[in-house]
Structure 1
Amino acid sequence: MKQLHFEYDMTLAFDSLVEKHRFTLKCFPHTDERQEISQLHVEVFPNEFLCNAQDSFGNSCIYGYAEGQHDHFSVHVTGHAKTGLASYETAEDIPNISMYKYQTPYTKPGDCLKAYRQQFAWKEETTALDKALVFMKQLYQDFHYEQGVTNISTTAEEALVLGKGVCQDYSHIMLSLCRMERIPSRYVVGMLMGEGLSHAWVEICSGGRWIALDPTNNLVVDTQHIKISSGRDYQDCIINQGVFTGFASQTQEIQVSVKEIILKP
């Protein structure tokens, strides 16, 4: 187990004033079988209304509204996470688990993904977890991490054709491969020890358990990861969504920091 301190900062800057800003935030973790969240503090500015809720995938979220004119919008989240409490999350508690077997617009395979899948051959006794571990290892060898070549709209098929991308692309490709094998699998957004941006990985269902795998780093998720949300793909886990009145362009800055809390003896 590890005791971690996390901070999440997001700032939107508008080049002209906006108003009547409605938003949905999914940027804070919640307690589950693998992690315990404490001392959670959330600041949202500006806001006239905030409502804590849970979406259809069980993710914690905030629905909010800022009526007045503003040229920036900020979210600051801090808290502690005790990680490594379990190596899995029980799958029987998740309703409609079969929906995670089906492809989405982000994961739908084209010719490249279908051809890539052909290199894998399984024995009858090969488990879903064993297949997923093979996918992860091979993808880590064949796909290369590079920022700036893909964007949030890039599909798994498009990313594999490019042969490079970021954690979102690794995760969508792995989801596509798993779902071609009818393995229930879901997209996860969270935080990783260190400083930078949010991170994405995959959970697959095997033997009644959700097991988390990080294809970007070729590892089984451990005490260094803090889960924020999960869904069928990136679209279900967007950290900040909103609409407003005004003619403005916007820029977004995100900074994530996760550090281990060293307890004095």
Structure 2
Amino acid sequence: MITITQSLKDLLLKEHNKWRQMLAMGSVDGYPAATRMLKVHWDDELEFLAYKHANHCVFEHDKCRVTEKYPKSGQNLGLKLYSREFNDIIQIIEELCAEWFEEYNFVPKHERKDIVTQYKHNAKWGHFTVMARERNDAIGCALVSMKNTKLNPRAPFHYMLTCNYPETNLPGPLYDHGDACSRCDSYGPTFKCDKADYFLLCDLKLDTSTSLPETSSRTTSSARIFEYTTAPNVAKKTTKTTEKHKSCASYLESKKN
């Protein structure tokens, strides 16, 4: 495993927030500006779940990442293959995050505004839409390096990035569109446009331990979840029940101890 230092956490946050800022301001071709796109922060629970996934060194989605806090959790996976050991971790992260977001190009131009209003499932752009969901205000990621001569003998050095999110690609709007950063208060009176680095993203302007207000909190759902990888563009569909949620949460909690 590659240690996710504070500087790498900051980089992952920057890579997500800069793309969300571009989307919020209406600077992504064919996509309208966002009224209440949330700023992304680091989440230790999502990081822990990502670590458990990456530690298996298998480029497939896990089936045990849904918890009480994140009942509709999403996940993006990225893989880089090299002919030799590659030590520029910053470049790997930047390229994978860019590849995820730039899947917006796969959405036909005449459908881009429509997909913002009502999500349309397609594995070709699944990574982008996870990054673009207005309520995905947290990430936790893990990165692993491994050597696999069987998969590709000419490029046996593999680097896999796992990032987990509060929400996955579910039916409904990706984000509310209109004047950029004009409806932050729809999450509650303490949500304002960020004054630090991302002025068109909404952020909670209280103690960082304060959670979303009850009216906009995430609720448990057994809705169908679509999962994505940067491997073949085929979506995997799984239906998770409340009992599976509980058993997953218990399993993960036991692994912490």
Which structure has the larger Rg?
1
- TM-score (norm: length of structure 1): 0.26
- TM-score (norm: length of structure 2): 0.26
Higher helix share: 2
